[in-house]
Structure 1
Amino acid sequence: MTGVRVTFGLELDGGCYPDPLGGRRASIGEVTVGPMGLLGLLETRLGLGGVPAPEPVRVLQYRRRLEAAARGRFFERSLAADPIGTARTLLEWRDTLAAGGWAGEAGKRGRLADLAAVERAADVPPLAGGTAERARAVLRELERPGRSSGIARLTLAESADKLPPPWPAIVGALARGGCALAALEPPPGALGGRLRKLQLALAGRPTEGVEGPEDIVLLTASSDSEAAEAVAVWLEEGAEGTVVIAGREDNALDRALTRRGLPSTGAAPHSPWRPALQVLPLAVALRWLPRDPERLLEFLLLPASPLPGGLARRLAAALAAEPGTGGRRWRAAMARLESDDSQAGARELSERLEAWIGGPGYAPETGIPRAELVRLAEMTAAWAAAAGGQDETLAAAVQQAVAVRELLALSGEERVPQLLWDSLIEETARRGVRLPGRYGEIGHVAVVAHPGAILGPARRVLWWDFSEGAVERAPWSPWTASERALLAGRGVQLQSPVLEAERFWQATVRAVGAASEMLVLVAPAQRRGEPCGAHPMLARLASALGGELAACTRSCLERSVGGEPAAASGVLEPVPRRRLPARVRVWRLPAATHIPSRKLESYSSLGKLLDHPYQWVLSYAAQLWPGLLQPLPRPRQLLGTLAHRLLQEALLEPELEAAAWSPDAVEAWLGRRAPGVLGEEGLPLLMPERLPDRQRLSAAVARSVMTLARLMREGGWRLAAAVGKRGLPGSELAVEGTFAGGELSGELDLLLVDPDGRHAVLDMKWSRWKLDGEQIPLQLLVYGRLIEQSTGAWPRVAHLFLEQGVLYPADALRPIATRSTWTETDCAAQWPAVEELWRARREQLDRGLVEVTAVKAAEGEGLELPPEARAPEGAPRFDGGFGALVGWLEQIEPDEEDDE
């Protein structure tokens, strides 16, 4: 017999088991292919073909045809709302019809008539042929008289009558052209045991008298990683003659194999979220107005980035502190760039930064010019090509950028709105790319993606991830019964969901029948942390076993795949159960541990030491700090920071002073100034969904400005002449002094002076909280002490609560005779207790005792303080990020103390 001998199956495009060579060194005239492989083979032998159009290109072409025919059609509104998504879905519908033989026929009205109108749409480019058109072209060529495919024998892994259209017609045409058809020979199966009983039952043959070893295992595990470890230990004994049905791509098994020193299979998952594939989408996202600081932070923190790592990290830290691109911290990071590099190098980096994250912004509705998107795509391709080498993800980034450029040219749009862009970029990244370096290694266990890819016998079949989520659902048919009847009457054959399920069952039967010694079904309770149910085939297999499935079930915590105790197999080692350490109020450090004092304390560090010593120890003695991946400021914290700055600037605005701080003047000034400040330090508030917060900010600043300006005018107060870090007098002033523990520093929000030279320290908080009786807050005492040391007199102290526009104490700026709370005398009287508390805490640390104020003290617990010491300011409103270390796992939102 001359001609090619072909083995064909729907699941054979991705490889099969056994290897087609069957242990031979080479073969001639034999191929094993799936649908795409057979289609390509037939096109080659029949002289058909050409370069197939990429699917994203066809989606855009079909979108143009839909738009040309949309008026009054069933898809008109969907197309207007989501043109690419609608075009993609309807193209899938249309291709399914074309595969069944539809050529644009329809009734007088309804959805089929509307799609037929799309086929006839004039004055638009034609739709490039897809897989259905290619298959139909092959079929027409095969049906020509005297035409031969050159295929001598076609062995089918599935029954011809259960193949989806148009494959039954193609198989029939091949047979009429002289090709011999054959069915795949069933494997011999097992010799005995439960496995043989199951195989006979699935084949519909009697099972009486079949006895033998326990050769079916349903392996249960609490997670996929736990199951993978058990499987890897089992495969260490030898993988010859074993085939793994991997199902959906999964990296858990390969990780376990690597840990055991076994060759990995290369069945790593593909993902569109690899860092290199995010460069272009994020670069474009930074052009939309308002600019989203979350996207900017993601771009700066990409592991694969076109920006130097040091610069990106500095800018990310600046953005996390002040979320904007023109604020003080951002400018400082850029200034450091200029000081660290040569003039030419700094200029080149600055230009590169501007090219990637700067430039003009565009409204999502009107869109970005196509030329700008092409420029960004070319930049991405050039960067990835230069950095790529053999990196698969960078090569994919180049391909993505090239595809985007082609799609933009094809779209015909001069400006691309955001919705259209999002759909275009999604089309180019659907497949994604696998994890770098995750390739199949020499000698790895045989692996297939689907049970239908097992064509011959195997000693052992292991069905990895035998659970519900590992099975792709049968395709959903959008057509009604009447539409299907209409199509059938015109000779159009549609895929049946029932046949899809039956094909999967046939593949399952063949995979089970391939095992001669052992069948292992791995059923984890969770996959990637998410619960998963039973595999849909489990009930049918259990029924075939006649109630013996329970006897086949093994937990990998108790027994290994081979049946021995889990501990003996090396999967798990017994560990005695221990209770979690109890949360304790006091840590007692080893005697040799010495925690030295710090040379300089600030208010924030001194506050930790006095009120929450464990935070001070972990921060400064243990030097534990948050990592690089810091989120943007929390809403209230950001509101407080922005309100600080706006109020400080407003107090110095001559225009407002001239208008006597009238509500209209303040509101008009805020309307002009606030957008600029938000762009520099408050980008999150510019997002559309944050409009209520912007209104809340403006209202709070207006109230506070008018309240404070009135009190200053009544008492003759003015801002101190000293200039702070923003260059504003009396605002954000750095002050220094000493206390019992050494040097002390602080930063004052506002420092006022009256006509008699007396000072007032105002500390701003976003929102009011409950104050502790007559005890003056530590922050105000520290700042007051530093001013007292520099001027010789204690200042007045107060909080300005911005959201409420309230000063507390309300009489803080009034004449002395009217004041009764938090007076200068009160400050002087309470300061010694602060230093006494410091001495007590220092003595505790010297004894190796650390009080954990996050843990509620039971009776008799805690550390006693001398009566003359200041009372600590209560339990922490926030755990400082150390919750897991102290056993205080409840993350409490920061209160107003953290809004500075």
Structure 2
Amino acid sequence: MKIIAGLGYDDRLPNQLPELFSGQLCGEQSLIAALEFRAGIIPPNETQATRAVAYLNALSAADNGHRFYSESLAVDPIASAESLLAWRDWAILHGWNHDPRSKNHGRMVDLAAAESGFSKDGTSLGERIYALLQRLTLLGPSVSGIELHHSRASWPPLYQHLFDQLESAGVAVTEAPKALQAQAPASSDLGKLQRALVSENNGPLRFQQDGTVRLLSTGSEGLAAQYAIHEANNETLIIAPSGQHSLATVITQQGGNDSGLGDLSTFRAPNQLLLLMLQSAWRTPPADALLQFLSLPAGRFQRLRRSLARRFRDLPGFDQEHWEAEINNFVNATLQDTPELDETGLRRDIEEWLPLCICPYDDKMPIELALSLTARVASYWNACLSTSEREQAKPIYSAAYAAADSVCQALREWPETDISKTQLNRLISMVLSLGNSSLRNSREVSAFDVVSSPEVVPLRTAPTTHTLWINPQISKLVETPPFSQAELRGIPLAPGPEQQTHLRQLALIRAHAPLLAARQFVTLISTNSTPELLQLQISSLTDTKVWPSLEQTILTNQCLHAPAQPIKEFSLPQAQRWWAPDRAVPAPRNSESYSSLAALALKPHEYALKYAAQIREGAIESLAADARLKGNLAHHLVEAWIREHPWTGKPVDRMSVSSWLDATLPVVIRKVALPLAQPGMQVEQLRFQQKILDALDALLKALVAAGVTNLQPERRFEHIDTLSQLEGTMDIFCEFEDGRFAIIDMKWGGYKKYREELKAGRPLQLATYAHIAEGNHSGQLADAGYFILSRAELLCNDTLVFPTATAVEPDQPTSLQLTWQKFEKTLRWRVEQLKNGHIEQTYGEAAPDRNSLPPGDAIDLIALEEQARKNSSQSYKATFKAVDTWRNLTGNIKEL
């Protein structure tokens, strides 16, 4: 059999290849593998991660505290081992320790000391070549010859030695370089560039700007991919050394066949499962990572995890008691659908796939735990790989399995009983890259011809009209590590300065192949700001110091092969104030809370979408330590204090509250406010602790001053009203000796808003709670107010019940009972509108009309909306809620 070898041929090859009979195309790695197979040598099956861990063990065993790597190894073991392993492999590929002329100078003495403890000896490419040299006589019967598409001088020195020895063993090695000539007309800009490259002309060319050579730059790989696919046809060759998943995404969006390019992306859900599961297991996991794990469309129990994700979005923490209820509902529903399932086994499986916060530490993880979680993911992907009937999914499952299995192997050889978070993340990063790169040899045929290396261009048999190259650069075959000249002198085959310059020149000539192959157009797009040798040469020849922006070129339609399509003018739809569906909207529901009643009265479009249409918000969003999160956390802390300290009515020492907060706050943060526990949030956490200390102290003093005799947090009431069954949970329910009661609703912020409510006589939430409580309590309502936690201030209409409160007198005499009556009339008016199929879109672009006016004895909704417009500077961007989901859904957006 004949072997055809070329540099870069291990990468993705063109779609149109020459017909080979009894031949095989090989690159640097696959050439050695092919020769090993025919020489009867079993190649090593070791991943780079397992080799790095094994080399870490060898370095640690040789470390006497005075090695040149001692301090680096102590600070970042796996990164140091990975870098030094690359040095070692390069040195062996250039004769170190295997050539009799090799010697140890400088740091090579320390690297040589680690060799005896390296358990993966013989696994590097250089060692494999040296082992192959001993068995070359066995290749004669099976290898008729080796044809080199690139000169011997282009190959690393050890390969050149291998070729010499092959010839001595009777295997012919011939050079057959693919000579490329200028293909474009000499009068065109491209023709001038091609001839300058062939003749090595160094002077700037006089271009006529005919559009045959386009030099562009952009900071977006996605935009470069969109432009490339838009410009490409069956005579276009696209070269993309990286970012091929962006090209795959664009191809899929345009309805093209699967190109196999996206298999390399580490952002695929299967490739994220291992990383997110391990991150979720830390004692205090990153909030965003935990939300991503719960929302990830990969792994078992996705439906359960999605429902938990919605809970987590509202209370971003892990509270075993609260989560257990959700799990129980899922188990009951599953057993009802599939009665033959074993409940004990189902719960055990759920526990295995929800390993949340099970690590006892935040900075290190026991190896047994890390290995157990990783093996679980590996087994899952192995099962998917063997049972899946979708051919397109198998390469993706294979990559995910290879990554998880590699981590398993590396963890089994980890030198300690624990692994730090940094080291574990480094291992995963190494393995994810490795698992995907193992698929590069596979090639899916699609309408778009995409390669990753310029060296493979001469293999293409179809004519190339247009070469489109994203990030043009020369091949970095084997870069020299930062060895000193003395150290290099002990490595026999290490190239000297002149030879390194010659190798770079040869690589530059090979990179000219795609430019010479183009017959009409060449488009070069750079997404990197760092200058590169090929880009510098092109810029010098074309006298172009700065490549024009791709964005600007598209907008101005400059020198584009395909003209931009004009957009027809059309009028945007007018904002609507009313919807008129062809059916009644059911309202009210069997049970309503204040939040749903407020939506019904103030934003009926939200009520219709959320409750009647059953549209839910998704769980994917960023989690921040914002006002909403701090409010939830403060509520939980106040509730926890009251429950742990039964109310006596006596003053509470501030220092005892402070001591309690010191112990309780970290625990509650992990349960409901993980974003506050992340690195870099310590100052914010201390500020919050000070504010909640002030708030608790002021709240307790207010309750003592009011003479409260009984205190209940989160008191839930239900009241069957003529409107519906009303439900409400009062933040703080106070009872007095004379049988009266009071309600305090806690808010983190909104001081100005709630003052305005009290002053205008429309505290709708307090009125609703008072109405519900009066229907369930024998006593009389004494007072109700808002306690603003961030200001440690209680707001009431007067100070008769709570002497320490801030009195906000209403503009006109009113009461909570009167406010509820107005609110109820407003609700009944809205219900009647919905029954008639009329849904008003409020607080948007369209102004209210006469149908927006409620009855005279109802809430003045127009005044409320006008007040909101006046306070437009307090937009949604300035508060905790960055997006108003329902107004964005309807398109009736006021704030831009």
TM-score class, shorter-chain normalisation, is 0.7 to 0.9
Counterpart CA distance in 1 for 2:734 and 2:694 is 19
Give, in whole Å, the separation in 1 of the partners of 2:92 and 2:768: 80
Q: Aligned residue for 1:487?
A: 488
Q: State the match for 1:761 in structure 2.
A: 743
1:604 paired residue number: 595
Quick one: distance in 2 between partners of 1:332 and 1:566? 59
Q: Which amino acid aligns with 1:713?
A: V
Q: 1:250 maps to which residue?
A: 244
Gaps of 5+ in 2: 389-393
- Tell me, in whole angstroms, the C-alpha distance in 2 between the residues paired with 1:7 and 1:714: 92
2:199 matches 1:204: yes
When structure 1 is superposed on structure 2, of 468-477 and 595-604 the one drifting more is 468-477
Q: Do structure 1's residue 349 and structure 2's residue 350 form an aligned pair?
A: no
**Is residue 751 from structure 1 mapped to residue 748 from structure 2 by the alignment?**
no
- Show the counterpart of 1:186: 179
Change (3 A) 1:825 1:327: farther
Q: Structure 1 residues 737, 522: CA separation in 2 closer, same or farther (over 3 Å shift)?
A: farther
Which runs of structure 2 are paired with 1:474-873 in the superposition (5 Å)?
477-479=480-482, 483-484=484-485, 487-488=488-489, 491-494=492-495, 498-499=501-502, 501-515=504-518, 518-523=519-524, 537=534, 540=537, 566=563, 572=565, 574-578=566-570, 587-589=577-579, 597-599=587-589, 601-612=592-603, 615-616=606-607, 618-620=609-611, 623-629=614-620, 632=623, 634-654=625-645, 657=648, 660-671=651-662, 673-674=664-665, 676-687=667-678, 689-692=680-683, 694-719=685-710, 729=712, 731-736=714-719, 738=721, 744-767=726-749, 769-770=751-752, 771-772=755-756, 774-776=759-761, 777-788=763-774, 793-809=780-796, 812=799, 814=801, 821=808, 826-828=815-817, 830-831=819-820, 833-834=822-823, 850=840, 852-855=842-845, 869-870=859-860, 871-872=863-864
Please give the TM-score of this superposition, normalised by the length of structure 2: 0.79
Aligned to 1:898: none
> Is the contact made by 1:883 and 1:890 (CA closer than 8 Å) also made in structure 2?
no
The one of 103, 119, 129 aligned to 2:97? 103
Aligned to 1:431, the other structure's residue is in SS state helix
1:63-119 residue CA offsets vs partner (Å, 9 max, x unmatched): 22322236233322221111001111122123223322333999xx9x962332221
Measure, in 2, the Cα distance between the counterparts of 1:99 and 1:435: 21
Alignment partner of 1:371 out of 361, 365, 368: 368
- Between the aligned partners of 1:690 and 1:246, the Cα distance in structure 2 is 40
Q: Give 2:455's aligned residue.
A: 452
Does the residue aligned with 2:96 lie in a helix, a strand or coil? coil
**Structure 2 counterpart SS, 1:803:** helix
Aligned to 1:897: none
* Residue of structure 2 aligned with 1:881, choices 882, 885, 888: 885
| 1:228-239 superposed matches below 5 A | none
Matched, 1:59 2:52: yes
Taking the aligned partners of 1:191 and 1:310, their CA distance within structure 2 comes to 58
> CA contact under 8 A between 1:186 and 1:456: conserved in structure 2?
no
Change (3 A) 1:675 1:313: same
Which residue of structure 2 aligns with residue 134 of structure 1? 128
- Cα gap change, 1:850 to 1:681, in 2 (>3 Å): same
Instruction: Indicate if the aligned counterparts of 1:157 and 1:183 stay in contact, CA closer than 8 A.
Output: yes
Aligned partners of 1:472 and 1:813: how far apart in 2?
Answer: 82
Q: Which amino acid aligns with 1:357?
A: L
Moved more, 52-61 or 803-812: 803-812
* 8 Å Cα contact 2:714-2:730 kept in structure 1: yes
Distance 2:276 2:823 in 1: 51
Residue type at the aligned position of 1:880: D
Paired amino acid for 1:785: H
Q: CA deviation at 1:197?
A: 5.2
- Cα gap change, 1:300/1:175 in structure 2, threshold over 3 Å: closer, same or farther? same
Q: Return closer, same or farther for 1:799/1:434 CA change in 2, 3 Å cut-off.
A: farther
Question: What is the aligned-residue identity percentage?
Answer: 22
Q: 2:286–2:675: 8 Å Cα contact kept in structure 1? A: yes
- Partner secondary structure for residue 380 of structure 1: helix
Q: Kindly report the root-mean-square deviation, in angstroms, between the aligned alpha carbons of the 2 structures.
A: 5.1
Structure 1 residues 174 and 621: alpha-carbon distance in aligned structure 2, compared to 1, 3 A threshold: same
Letter of the structure 2 residue corresponding to residue 135 of structure 1: I
Compute the displacement of 1:333 (Å). 0.7
The verdict on how the C-alpha distance between 1:17 and 1:826 changes in structure 2, with shifts beyond 3 A counting, is closer
Match of 2:402 among 392, 399, 419: 399
The CA distance in 2 between the partners of 1:523 and 1:624, in whole Å, is: 46
Paired residues of 2:184 and 2:191 also in contact (CA < 8 A): yes
Distance 2:485 2:425 in 1: 34
Matches within 5 A, 1:74-93: 74-93=68-87
TM-score, normalised via structure 1 length: 0.78
Secondary structure at the counterpart of residue 166 of structure 1: helix
- Kindly state the Cα deviation for residue 796 of structure 1 after the two structures are TM-superposed: 0.7
Distance in 2 of aligned mates of 1:255 and 1:593: 41
Per the alignment, in what secondary structure is the counterpart of residue 268 of structure 1? helix
Secondary structure (helix, strand or coil) at the match of 1:575 reads: coil
Distance across 1 between alignment mates of 2:269 and 2:805: 64
Count of aligned positions: 846
Read off the aligned partner of 2:717 and give its amino acid letter. A
Are positions 1:166 and 2:158 aligned together? yes
1:320 and 2:313 correspond: yes
Q: What amino acid does structure 2 have at the position aligned with 1:754? A: F
8 A contact 2:381–2:397 mirrored in 1: yes
Change (3 A) 1:863 1:229: same
Paired with 1:826 and 1:535, the residues of 2 have a C-alpha distance of 76
Q: 1:723 matched to which residue of 2? A: none
Q: How far 1:758 sits from its partner (Å)?
A: 2.0
C-alpha separation between the residues in 1 aligned to 2:554 and 2:357? 58
**Separation of aligned partners in 2, 1:405 and 1:591:** 58
Go from structure 1 to structure 2 and tell me whether the alpha carbon gap of 1:231 and 1:640 turns closer, same or farther (over 3 Å shift). Answer: closer
**Structure 1 478/867 Cα, relative in aligned 2: closer, same or farther at 3 Å?**
farther
Q: State the alpha-carbon separation in 2 of the partners of residues 743 and 650 from structure 1.
A: 31
Q: How many Å apart are 1:293 and its aligned residue?
A: 4.5
Question: In the aligned structure 2, how far is the partner of 1:766 from the partner of 1:51?
Answer: 62
Residues 35-67 of structure 1: CA distance to partner in whole angstroms, max 9, x if unpaired?
113323444566666425432232122222322
- Separation in 2 of the partners of 1:601 and 1:249? 51
Alignment-mate amino acid for residue 755 of structure 1: E
Contact 2:374 2:404 in 1 (8 A): yes
- 1:428 matched residue in structure 2: 431
Matches of 2:240 and 2:805 in 1, distance apart? 81
1:681-733, Cα deviation, whole Å (9 max, x unpaired): 3444454554445545554444444433333334332336xxxxxxxx46332
Aligned-pair CA distance for 1:763 = 0.5
Task: Tell me the SS of whatever aligns to 2:717.
Answer: strand
**Secondary structure of the corresponding residue to residue 13 of structure 1:** coil
3-state SS of paired residue (1:629): coil
Instruction: Point out the more displaced range, 125-134 or 260-269.
Output: 260-269
Rounded to whole Å, the distance in 2 between the matches of 1:438 and 1:151 is: 22
Is 2:290 the counterpart of 1:296?
A: yes
Residues 788 and 525 of structure 1: is their aligned pair in 2 closer, same or farther, counting only changes over 3 Å?
farther
Counterpart Cα distance in 2 of 1:316 and 1:224:
31
Q: Output the amino acid matched with 1:505.
A: L
Q: How many Å apart are 1:766 and its aligned residue? A: 2.0
